[in-house]
Amino acid sequence: MHPQLQQRSLRAPATRALSVPLAVRCLIAAALAAGASGAAQAAPWFTDPGVHVAYGRDTSHDVNKYELGINFNTPIQYGNPDSWLLRLQVEFNIAQWQSRGGTNSQNLQEFGFTPILRVEKRGSFSFVPFIEGGLGLRLLTHTHTSDEHNMSSAFQFGDMIGVGIAFGKNQSTEAGFRFQHISNASIREPNPGANFYTGYVRYRF
């Protein structure tokens, strides 16, 4: 091979390697480090399932919501399990919206998924108080509950904030109250949304 051609072929891989942005290499290194850390601390996902029933009320649009859901703890948590603890949960739900007012009222069904951040205070009482918040996705079977309440799209976002307590044997029974806002974030108009004031009870297995 000609000496000049050989020199160029030897330099080519180095040039390609240097063309990889530094940020990408840092992200790859971080991902590998996170993967190694996760493997070292492997724990099952979706543990401690808790089934809840809930009743919600949207007073502005005269809609009742009846919900059935399942909530799981994940291994992602920070703090002291015997004191203040921040944990990540995931929740799946199905719900029936019952329209009780408006012209041409229409009932609909909701299917949802929500990651939840929950802060608990353990160790001080026989019960465990907590606050929670989440932002998730919703799919509705219809886009309106009446002519006056048209939400434009079946795809919606659902955010909520709530408080509650866990009590009983192993704190396996929970009761809570949530304020939940559902809307499409103005992806389509009109976007009146729905605001539900919701109470729930849950049993965790």
| pLDDT tens-digit profile, the chain (205 residues) | 444 444 444 444 433 333 445 544 544 454 444 443 443 356 788 899 999 999 999 999 999 999 999 999 999 999 998 999 999 999 999 999 999 999 999 999 999 999 999 999 998 788 999 999 999 999 999 999 999 999 999 999 999 999 999 999 999 999 999 999 999 999 999 999 999 999 999 999 9
User: Are 111 and 162 found together in one domain?
Assistant: yes
pLDDT of res. 54: 98
Whose structure tokens read 């009320």?
A: 57
User: In what helix (H) or strand (E) does residue 8 lie, and over which residues does it extend?
Assistant: helix 3-19
Based on the fold, state whether residues 104 and 126 are members of the same structural domain.
Answer: yes
176 and 81 both lie in a single domain: yes
Tokens for 122, please give them: 């353990």
Cα separation values, 28 from 35, 42, 48, 84, 118, Å = 10, 20, 33, 33, 30
Residues 97 and 181 occupy one common structural domain? yes
Residues 80, 150: one domain? yes
Which three-class secondary structure string do you get for 13-48? Answer: HHHHHHHCCHHHHHHHHHHHHHHHHHHHCCCCCCEE
Q: Number of structural domains, the chain?
A: 2
47 and 31 in a single domain? The answer is: no
Distance, CA of 17 to CA of 11 (rounded, Å): 10
- On whether both 149 and 198 belong to a single domain, the answer is yes
Q: What is residue 45's predicted lDDT score, i.e. its pLDDT?
A: 86
CA dihedral for 81, 159, 195, 138, sign (positive or negative): negative
- From residue 173, give the alpha-carbon distance in Å to each of 16, 87, 99: 59, 18, 30
Same domain, 91 and 26: no
pLDDT given for residue 41 in this prediction: 54
Question: What's 83's DSSP letter?
Answer: S
- Same domain for 7 and 55, yes or no, is no
In this prediction, residue 11 carries a pLDDT of: 44
Are residues 21 and 48 both part of a single domain?
Answer: no
**Residues 48/43/128/136 CA torsion (nearest 10 deg):** -70
* pLDDT attached to residue 30: 46
What does the pLDDT read at residue 154?
97
**What residue numbers bound the domain in which 78 lies?**
43-204
